[in-house]
Amino acid sequence: MNALAATSRNFKRAATLLGLDSKLEKSLLIPFREIKVECTIPKDDGTLASFVGFRIQHDNARGPMKGGIRYHPEVDPDEVNALAQLMTWKTAVANIPYGGAKGGIGCDPGELSRSELERLTRVFTQKIHDLIGIHTDVPAPDMGTNPQTMAWILDEYSKFHGYSPAVVTGKPVDLGGSLGRDAATGRGVLFATQALLQEHGKSVSGQRFVIQGFGNVGSWAAQLISEAGGKIVAISDVTGAIKNSKGLDIPSLLKYSRENRGIKGFDGGDAIDPKSLLTEDCDVLIPAALGGVINRENANEIRAKYIIEAANHPTDPEADEILSKKGVLILPDIFANSGGVTVSYFEWVQNIQGFMWEEEKVNAELQSYMTKGFRDLKEMCGTHACDLRMGAFTLGVNRVARATILRGWEA
């Protein structure tokens, strides 16, 4: 099942539980605006190249729209639509004053030089500058983009609208980026895991973890979990997978991975087949890489008691059903990985105030948002007698629906 079908299905189930009016339900699903622009740039060799850029702005009932911009050769409109919609529910679950959006450019960033990427980013910004803005739509980095991309968008946007650091988040710290933003999603995963385990009378310390993915989110989650006393018994990335039942030495692994561009060949553990990683024996499984990795093929073999969805949409709906029958608890992505967008919100707030926070304040505020978010989520589970995923969806959809009705959507 693709991301859009799964997200829409979750939304419809939440709408049914909440007893939403069918007209309102339909209105909430349709994106507010879809933008598609042609971006033509001169390449370094003097030839012209054309790319398609787009932005899907899903909903702005609760505030400016928020979401990433990805540079990827196969940007599928359906997937971007699903991700924009997911951002609407995610920001509502996190209880930050935003709606959802997503966008990108269909290009292969690996094939473009730095100066070509800069020209492409600037042309894209010129085409959409009047449709984004501090109080309209605030982009952020995603696959294939980074703080430098945000710096170019900020500069180009500011040529039209005056210096506006709050127009994008995930910026370099020197241009108004927030301290703690880099680790935010991984740190949020730690706080989410702590909240779930605490509910069951456990703590991170002494639990055995398996983490799929060692990019930004996976590596920060691994580092912070091991600092909190968790034992990480297996990890994989694009190069391979390793396990060590006594626990991997994360600081050494981080150093090795930086120097060798991957974890393959690390001598502090045994190489295993990356496909078998998800079914390794552990207490907590954290998929932090791609979507759709837990499906009906492998769900029966999963031995973890808890799954924390650090990636977007890692569990297929079919796997969801198999796992819940087995009694596995799944903390859904729209809550578990919302640390990133929450600290993006803090960055935006700091930029609007023109007053930057210390990193301790950022981390403390994040912990308070995540802990409160988990309590709200559990309350919805109680009200609607549903699992954690539906608890999160009903929480998010209900907040957006209430804002929509209060603003007067029928007028």
Annotated binding site for NAD(+): 185, 216
**Nearest CA among 268, 284, 281, 269 for reference residue 206:** 284
- Pinpoint the alpha helices (H) of 19-166: 22-29, 77-93, 114-128, 147-161
Residue closest to 338 by CA, chosen among 293, 300, 386, 372? 372
Residues in CB range of 200: below 8 A, 6 or more apart: none
Instruction: Transcribe 226-292 into DSSP letters.
Output: HHTT-EEEEEEETTEEEE-TT---HHHHHHHHHHHTSSTT-TTSEEE-GGGGGGSS-SEEEE-S-TT
- List of long-range contacts for 314-319, beta carbons under 8 Å, 24+ apart: 314/287, 314/289, 314/290, 315/287, 316/1, 316/6, 316/292, 317/1, 317/6, 317/9, 317/10, 318/1, 319/294, 319/295
User: Which residue in the list 102, 171, 231, 243 is annotated as catalytic?
Assistant: 102
Q: Annotated catalytic, 102? A: yes
Task: Catalogue the active-site residues.
Answer: 102
